[in-house]
Amino acid sequence: MTVSTGARVAAVYDRVASVYDLYTRPMEAMGGTRARRRLFSRARGRVLELGIGTGANVPFYPPDVELVGVDISGRMLQRARRRALRGRDVALQRADIEHLPYGDASFDTVTAACVFCSVDDPVQGLREARRVTRPGGFVLLYEHVRPTNPLLARLADATSPWTRRTFGPELNRRTEENVAAAGMTVVEARRRGIWRELVVAP
């Protein structure tokens, strides 16, 4: 029987869930935490976090938002649940970002951090983000993208199959282009090396 891509992604993140926060700590120390706090503090109303993972972003949301989080990995959600219980009420659900179990225009803000590097079909995932965002709402994305340096770009292309199998992410995603392909518009962008903080209008 063929294993679906979603099942493979879930298996990778189930495997690394216990050490995920540990191996992402260096990039957090180099500005990741500051960037996510800056971006996700802008969330308003009913908020959906795509790929909530271990719940690392939960403390960065304003206290008055209604927060819903989805992830394809059950073990990542277990860790997110423990983190949420220490601070705030979060509705957590296991779901595939490419096929969200919510109606059209269900959320005021949709967020994601380092998620669209792992989704099998990022354009489809972004279309779903667009679909569930209400008119006048925003999608907030913190993502890494394919390097602009040609040598580093080729290195990212060469190593992405390995990083996807081992840790989950691909290093050569073109997220800003994918946002446009999904029918959305980047209205604000902060660019730092391979990192992007994007405010997207659906």
pTM summary value:
0.90
Alpha-carbon distances, residue 136 vs 107, 130, 139, 172 (angstroms): 10, 11, 10, 31
pLDDT, one tens digit per residue, over 114-142 is 999 888 899 999 999 999 999 999 999 99
Q: Tell me how far apart the alpha carbons of residues 12 and 73 are, in angstroms, rounded to a whole number.
A: 8
Least confident of 13-17, 59-63, 98-102: 13-17
Residue corresponding to tokens 């989704």: 119
Strands 107-113 and 133-144 turn out to be parallel
What is the sign of the dihedral through the CA atoms of 191, 171, 54 and 31? negative
> What percent of the chain is modeled with pLDDT above 90?
59
What strands lie across the sheet with 90-94, from one edge to the other? 90-94, 66-71, 46-50, 107-113, 133-144, 195-201, 185-192
Q: Are 145 and 197 in contact (CB under 8 A)?
A: no
**What backbone torsions phi and psi does residue 188 show, to the nearest 5 degrees?**
-145, 140
- In this structure, the chain runs to a length of 202
- Average the pLDDT over 153-166 and give the result: 77
Alpha-carbon distances, residue 90 vs 64, 84, 141, 166 (angstroms): 12, 6, 19, 29
